[in-house]
Every structure is written in C-alpha cells, then in structure tokens.
Homo-oligomer: A and B are copies of this chain.
Amino acid sequence: MTEKQPQDLLLINGKPYTSRLLVGTGKYRDMEETKRAIEASGAQIVTFAIRRSNIGQNRDEPNLLDAVPPDKYTLLPNTAGCFDAETAVRTCRLARELLDGHNLVKLEVLGDKKTLYPDIPATLDATKTLIEDGFDVMVYTNDDPVMAKRFEELGCVAVMPLAAPIGSGLGIRNPYNIRTIVENAHVPILVDAGVGTASDAAVAMELGCDGVLMNTAIAEAKNPVLMASAMKKGIEAGREAWLAGRMPRRAYASASSPIDGTFFT
C-alpha cells in the first residue's frame, strides 16, 4: 500500500526498518539454506549466537558473517543458552568486540531448560548492567505486562515477550497479555518465540505488535525458504489488517447483499 509505506516504519533505537520480521539463524540444514531463507523472509535484523571457535579443526566450514554480511543486515547477537546474568553480560561484551563496538544485543537469561522461559530477576540484573555499560538492549521476557513495562522503564530499546515456549510453535498462547503489553508500551514490542506458522505471525501483528522474531518456525518447516516467504507475507498481512482496522465481530449474521430490490417476496 504505497500510501502508508512512508510513515509505517519500525524504529529500533532510532534506526528505521521496512521489515517487521526478525529472524534467527539456528537449525538450518546448511549456510546456503540459511542465506536463502533470510533473503526470502525479507528480514533486515538477523540474530545469531556466540560460541567458541574451533581450535584447529574443520577450518573451512562456512562462516555465518559471510552468509549474513553486517553491511547488509543489522546483526543482533543474542545470549541464547545463558542461565545467569554474568554469562549473559560476558556474552554481550564478546559480541560487541566481535562486531567492532556494535552495541545492539538481544538479551535472554533463561530460567529453566524445559520451558526456556526467562529468569526474570536475573534478566533484570543483566539489563541494568548492560545498559550502564552502554548497550542497547532488546530484552526477551515472559508475557507479564508488569514486567514488560519494567523493562521499558529500565531503558530497553525493545521489549520482546514470548508468545509460547521457544521452539514450541504453539502460537500466541495469551493474546490478552500481549495486547495489554502493546497498549502500555512506548518502545517497540516484538513477539519473540512460539510462533509456528504464518497465521500466528499475522495474529501477533493484528494485536498491535511492532514486529515478530522467529527461527524454528522457518528453519523446521519442510520447505524453510517457502515458509520464510509465507512469514514475510503473514507479517505484512497482519500489520496491514491492524492499520486498516478490522470489522466488528458479531454473534449473528449480517447480509452482504441488499434486501430491497429482490424480485421475489
């Protein structure tokens, strides 16, 4: 819809994006599939993890930063796998060094392996440390509206409530919470985790979210590249539907065709 494009940009930390779909880089068959899926998704912000280099073995394996060049994408290092504030902070500092001083990070401090829900108190601690240390924090949190607001007040540049457990594909488990978080927010709200298919992404956007971050829903589809395209369209569909203002729900029917002028009576 050319008439809305100009004003409908996602602003994160002052930087504008036309795409509202953020993607991860895990679980793909290979770097080539990763690359093609990201392209099909139209994502402009791409998240990745930090792990030890291989010391002296398979040195020719392809490099993620070649597949996702920093000049083309906004790279978003995440702290996936961290179960305490300290390791999350160390991970962010290594990531900043790795990306030559780039301050934008996705913070997740996990509370339990079964749900991969955040450890909220530890996430609060890490958030404070990182913000003092000059990071721009996009924070993974649960869908509690009170906590979402708290992270905004601490100065996070985006708040990322989960829709359902990471990698579960269950969709938006509690739309009431997400809607309330959106209503209260003055920073971008990005649904992070739990989306399973394109309609889930559309639902998130129709609740008024500013964007969605996903990984498994694309990477574990039978055809990841086609699903990436589906997600791109699902996000756009949901966003446009939200901007367009949906019809009211009615308990009963309402005819689409006029009654008068029927030749039978």
Copies in the complex: 4
A198 CB contacts on chain B under 8 angstroms: 202, 206, 237-238, 240-241
Cross-chain contact of A115 among B40, B90, B120, B180 (Cβ < 8 A): B180
**Shortest beta-carbon distance, A142 to chain B, in Å?**
5
In this assembly, does A247 line the interface, its C-beta being within 8 Å of a C-beta of chain B?
yes
**Which one, A11-19, A97-105, A249-257, is touching chain B?**
A249-257
Q: What residues on B are CB-neighbors of A169 within 8 Å?
A: 246-250
Residues of B within 8 A of A244 (CB): 221-224, 226-227, 230
A189 at the B interface (CB under 8 A) = no
Measured CA separation A6–B238 after assembly (Å): 27
Out of B112, B177, B224, which one reaches A145, CB within 8 Å? B112
| Contacting residues, chain B, for A51 (C-beta < 8 A) | 258, 260-263
- Contacts A202-B202, A237-B237, A251-B176 hold; do A111 and B146 have CB atoms under 8 A apart? yes
CB pair A241–B146 under 8 Å, yes or no, is no
Q: CB-nearest residue of chain B relative to A245?
A: B222
Q: How many residues of A contact B (CB 8 A)?
A: 101
A225 contacts partner chain B, Cβ-Cβ < 8 Å: yes
A255 B119 Cβ-Cβ under 8 A: no
Please tell me if A121 contacts chain B, counting CB pairs below 8 Å: yes
Q: Say yes or no for A168: interface residue by CB 8 A criterion.
A: yes
The answer to whether A114 touches B243, judged by C-beta atoms less than 8 angstroms apart, is no
Beyond A164-B176, A198-B238, whether A255 also contacts B170 by CB under 8 A is no
Q: Chain B: which residue is nearest A78 at the CB level?
A: B257
Q: How far is the CB of A227 from chain B (nearest CB, A)?
A: 4
- 5 sampled A-B residue pairs with Cβ under 8 A: A49-B258, A168-B254, A169-B248, A169-B249, A230-B240
